[in-house]
Amino acid sequence: MQAIIKDLKTTVSDTKATDIRAAFAADPNRFRRYSVSLDDLLMDFSKTAVNDEVMALLERLADEAGVSEKREAMLSGEAINFTEGRAVLHTALRNRSNTPVLVEGMDVMPSVNAVLAAMASFADGIRSGSLKGATGKPISDVVNIGIGGSDLGPVMATLALAPFHDGPRAHFVSNVDGAHIADTLKGLDAETTLFIIASKTFTTIETMTNAASARAFIAGRLGEDAVKHHFAAVSTALDKVAAFGIEQHRVFGFWDWVGGRYSIWSAIGLPLMIAIGPEDFGRFLDGAYAMDQHFREAPVRKNLPMLLGLIGFYHRNVLGYPSRAILPYDQRLSRFPAYLQQLDMESNGKGVTVDGTPVEGDSGPVVWGEPGTNGQHAFYQLIHQGTSIIPTEFMIAANGFEPHLRHQHELLIANCLAQSEALMKGRTREEAKAQLTSKGMDESKADLIAPHRVFPGNRPSITFVYDRLTPYALGRLIALYEHRVFVEGVLFRINSFDQWGVELGKELATGLLPVVQGKESAEGHDSSTQGLVKVLAGLKAR
Ligand code: F6P
């Protein structure tokens, strides 16, 4: 692989591949050659620094890394998450063909379908009002308590699918900061509130702490007996859920072969299903399934996740770009960048290869972003004129859900397209000067000002276009990014499916709690930690 990476670096400089502007000038068919579609979803990567030589080398790279073989290993249930001894089978959760998927010789599809059916029946009961609170009132508000993968997916998707939301109001509490649950509970009526405790392990301190506060809220207002009517749980640790006191028929399981950040398709999606209904949740799964099929079957040059992963790797390890910005021109995708942060950075933020040796080059980039057009008025300045090159990924629907605000949607599209064009084209010093003099500025002043109005251009972007943000389209988009992370992980030669890096902070926090509470001395901690504990204690005592 290192030899191909070296060849890529040589090719980039020999062919001046990073002069994207010149590539467009030279080839009127560039868009057609470097864009691919799956139904109404189009991925335009013509504004990245690729040419045919680069693409051929990237294809060879995928081959040499064994991406296709590893993809089959994942899809067929091999324990590819070897540091935890687990298969990686979020695709089984949306396997709409129902063909058997084997884990250690057992078909998982019957249990996947059984949980989906139980979720649908519970969701229907809550939505129709047949499942009521302890005092006989229907549920008006659902509060999901979870964090990380047990929160980000449901929050993101519930916001994204607001036009399909016809169930009870949805709320999400994740942070151990008591402000989060306190602000959420303000204004909620215990009699009509359902809490879903979502935790794969059912040990996560944030979730367990918030769950205890929620329990106290219900028990305090309605009595201990009411708890069973106002709680449900989603977990792989069914014994621990039982100990919390949630009745078995309100517990929805999943399996250790579903990673937290890949769990939106499992019972972790319950708050989404309650919000949009089982049918639309099914369409969400259908969309992901369509992407799975495409990922499995399409040749590399037509395969969206393959291409997205290859270009991501190229940006990181050939061109050396340390971050990428996710810029949905879709207000309802406002939490999509945060969702992708966990998906990508928790998966590919690793420094050790599958052999236990240090990663050669770099692994996953920093992933960040905000919806357009808001970001334009915040950080786009740096993307256009800053000294770092930040590849951007735009996404835009052809149609919104507000026909009466059509003009606003057109303005949104125009902004999205304008940004990718401006990033690619830039503006030369001569162009900047000519613009100034044409407005009547004298030559010497124009010479002074023009450099500040130069845009280097050649800044890479990928644009996704789709018809509209339906449950199907959202499912497809998430699955696209999941598989992209997989492809990049294979190219980085890492295990994308564990997350040991999160552990150290958790352990230390547990150890520091008695120190913060003043029950133990801070001795043994570093002097900064000791100093901070002392200052905080002093401020607390004032
Ligand atoms: O942050 C680490 C992590 O383990 C994530 O991978 C996971 O999504 C999150 O914590 C929540 O874990 P759980 O669902 O077990 O509460």
- pLDDT per position as a tens digit, 426-470: 999 999 999 999 999 999 999 999 999 999 999 999 999 999 999
Lining ligand 1 with CB less than 6 A are 147-150, 199-201, 204, 207, 260-261, 346, 499, 502
Q: Per-residue pLDDT for 274 more than 90?
A: yes
Tell me the average pLDDT across 73-81. Answer: 96
Active site residues: 346, 377, 506
Q: What is the pLDDT of residue 387?
A: 97
Assess contact for 415 and 373: CB atoms under 8 A. yes
Distance 423 CA to ligand 1 centre (A): 37
Give Cα 413 distance to the centre of its chain.
23
Average pLDDT, the chain: 97
Q: What is the pLDDT of residue 239?
A: 87
Band the pLDDT of 285: cuts 50, 70, 90: very high
Structure tokens at 529: 């930690």
Q: Which of the listed residues 174, 204, 350 should we mutate to test ligand 1's pocket, taking the one with most ligand atoms within 8 A of CB?
A: 204
Between CA 236 and CA 213 the distance in angstroms is 22
Between CA 277 and CA 163 the distance in angstroms is 12
Q: Per-residue pLDDT for 184 more than 90?
A: yes
Assess contact for 391 and 315: CB atoms under 8 A. yes
Q: Residue of the nearest CA to atom 3 in ligand 1?
A: 148
Q: Per-residue pLDDT for 503 more than 90?
A: no
Judged by average pLDDT, the poorest of 44-58, 323-337, 492-506 is 492-506
Distance 495 CA to ligand 1 centre (A): 17
Amino acid found at 364: G
- What percent of the chain stands above pLDDT 90? 96
Task: Write the burial class of residue 94 (CB in 10 Å: 0-12 exposed, 13-18 middle, 19+ buried).
Answer: buried
Q: Any bridge partners for residue 138, and if so which?
A: 132
Q: Residue of the nearest CA to atom 9 in ligand 1?
A: 148
Distance 89 CA to ligand 1 centre (A): 17
Distance 221 CA to ligand 1 centre (A): 30
pTM: 0.97
Q: Residue of the nearest CA to atom 2 in ligand 1?
A: 502
Q: What is the pLDDT of residue 156?
A: 98
Q: Which of the listed residues 176, 201, 485 should we mutate to test ligand 1's pocket, taking the one with most ligand atoms within 8 A of CB?
A: 201
Tell me the average pLDDT across 136-165. Answer: 98
Give the nearest ligand 1 atom to 147 CA.
Answer: 11
Between CA 149 and CA 343 the distance in angstroms is 8
Q: What is the pLDDT of residue 61?
A: 98
Q: What does residue 194 show for φ and ψ, rounded to 5 degrees?
A: -115, 130
Band the pLDDT of 127: cuts 50, 70, 90: very high
Tell me the average pLDDT across 262-273. Answer: 98
Structure tokens at 236: 């792989």
Distance 501 CA to ligand 1 centre (A): 12
Question: Could you read off the pLDDT of 202-244 as tens digits, one per residue?
Answer: 999 999 999 999 999 999 999 999 999 999 999 988 888 988 8
Q: What is the pLDDT of residue 238?
A: 86
Tell me the average pLDDT across 302-328. Answer: 98
Give the nearest ligand 1 atom to 499 CA.
Answer: 6
3-class DSSP assignment, residue 129? coil
Q: Which of the listed residues 145, 150, 262, 496 should we mutate to test ligand 1's pocket, taking the one with most ligand atoms within 8 A of CB?
A: 150
Determine how many CB atoms are found less than 10 A away from the CB of residue 84.
15
Which runs of E-coded beta strand occur in 178-241? 193-198, 231-235
Q: Per-residue pLDDT for 506 more than 90?
A: no
- What percent of the chain stands above pLDDT 70? 100
Q: Residue of the nearest CA to atom 16 in ligand 1?
A: 199
Q: What is the pLDDT of residue 361?
A: 95
For the chain, first and last CA: distance in Å? 61
H helix count then E strand count, the chain:
23, 13
Tell me the average pLDDT across 83-87. Answer: 96
Q: Per-residue pLDDT for 505 more than 90?
A: no
Distance 204 CA to ligand 1 centre (A): 7
Tell me the average pLDDT across 471-479. Answer: 98
Give the nearest ligand 1 atom to 198 CA.
Answer: 14
**ipTM score of complex:** 0.97
